[in-house]
């Protein structure tokens, strides 16, 4: 009996170390009737050293990750960033041409198909010249009638239409807007993915159903020119030997009728 033999400094230190360890390592909280939590230290004082041991309650402690493990993952080439970069498979070095349309309201709509449900968080756009543009995100429109996957390589500008029983429907890649159309000022030439390439699309939006990995919807990023410029950078299918393009074009040059731009 400790009270009978006097205080044992070594025993008291061991108890303090154990209590401090529990306080620092656990995230259990005790709530008062008024909704406020008491500290872990106060819980140990009131309920004893087993106050934070909830094994009997069926609570399973999760394994902890050390900072060393985090650093190893960051330095590992197979580790991932917080954001999943989604593109149509072209490298940055291929964007040495520019889409030289040349009139206000010329509109570029690029179709993306994510591999799984996702949240569109940020958009980056490379530019050849300075100017103003309006940008937003949208669902893929009824152009899916003529191009289910968004590829418009075989659709000439002004030929995006669908015919059923003699009725012609002119289609568009832009469906229901998912964000607010937002003005952007492009300061000048930008050919990398730095903050200068950030394009404000007026918010974020969710694509697909997170409870069903097979329910993957397409979406579109839209950029509308404010004048002769800015001109977005692009690759050349002829130079790369490619026969696909996911960027649709519409505007004054095509009387608002959609088709490919490559």
Higher-pLDDT residue of 221, 256: 221
Domain locations in the chain as residue ranges: 2-75, 95-260
Model confidence pLDDT, tens digit, residues 84-143: 666 655 666 667 777 766 788 999 999 999 888 888 999 999 999 999 999 999 999 999
pLDDT of 78 above 50: no
Mean pLDDT of the region 69-77: 54
pLDDT of 159 above 80: yes
CA 130/CA 98 separation, integer angstroms: 12
Residue 31: which pLDDT band, with cuts at 50, 70 and 90? low
pLDDT of 212 above 70: yes
DSSP state of 56: G
pLDDT of 174 above 70: yes
The confidence score (pLDDT) of residue 80 equals 45
pLDDT of 57 above 50: yes
The confidence score (pLDDT) of residue 86 equals 66
Considering only 28-37, 154-163, 226-235, which range has the smallest mean pLDDT? 28-37
Residue 79: which pLDDT band, with cuts at 50, 70 and 90? very low
3-class secondary-structure state, position 252: helix
- Beta-bridge partners for 109: 222, 248
pLDDT of 76 above 60: no
pLDDT of 169 above 80: yes
Residue 82: which pLDDT band, with cuts at 50, 70 and 90? low
Percent above pLDDT 90 for the chain: 35
The confidence score (pLDDT) of residue 148 equals 93
Considering only 35-39, 93-97, 169-173, 236-240, which range has the smallest mean pLDDT? 35-39
Residue 211: which pLDDT band, with cuts at 50, 70 and 90? confident
CA-closest candidate to residue 217, choices 148, 124, 167, 133: 148
Residue 190 backbone dihedrals phi, psi, to 5 degrees: -145, 120
Calculate the CA 149 to chain-centre distance.
Answer: 20
Residue 61: which pLDDT band, with cuts at 50, 70 and 90? low
- Outline where the chain has alpha helix (H): 2-5, 9-25, 40-47, 67-75, 237-240
CA 69/CA 76 separation, integer angstroms: 10
Residue 248: which pLDDT band, with cuts at 50, 70 and 90? very high
């Amino acid at each position: 009996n400790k009270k009978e033999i006097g205080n044992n400094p070594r025993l008291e230190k061991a108890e303090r170390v154990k209590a401090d360890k529990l306080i620092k390592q656990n995230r259990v909280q005790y709530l008062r009737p008024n909704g406020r939590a008491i500290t872990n230290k106060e819980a140990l004082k009131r309920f004893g050293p087993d106050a934070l041991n909830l094994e009997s309650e069926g609570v399973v402690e999760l394994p902890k990750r050390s900072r060393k493990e985090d650093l190893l993952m960051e330095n590992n080439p197979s580790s991932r960033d917080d954001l999943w970069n989604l593109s149509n498979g072209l490298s940055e070095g291929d964007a040495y041409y520019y889409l030289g349309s040349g009139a206000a309201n010329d509109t570029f709509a690029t179709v993306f198909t994510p591999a799984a449900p996702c949240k569109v968080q940020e958009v980056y756009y490379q530019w050849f010249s300075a100017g103003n543009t309006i940008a937003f995100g949208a669902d893929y429109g009824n152009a899916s009638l003529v191009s289910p996957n968004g590829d418009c390589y075989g659709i000439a500008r002004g030929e995006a239409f669908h015919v059923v029983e003699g009725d012609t429907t002119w289609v568009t890649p832009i469906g229901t807007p998912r964000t607010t159309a937002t003005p952007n000022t492009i300061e000048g030439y930008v050919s990398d993915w730095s903050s200068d390439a950030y394009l404000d699309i007026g918010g974020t939006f969710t694509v697909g159903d997170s409870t069903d990995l097979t329910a993957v919807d397409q979406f579109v990023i839209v950029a509308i020119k404010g004048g002769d410029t800015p001109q977005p950078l692009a690759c050349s299918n002829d130079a790369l030997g490619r026969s696909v393009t996911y960027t649709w074009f519409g505007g004054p040059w095509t009387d608002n009728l959609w088709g490919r731009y490559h």
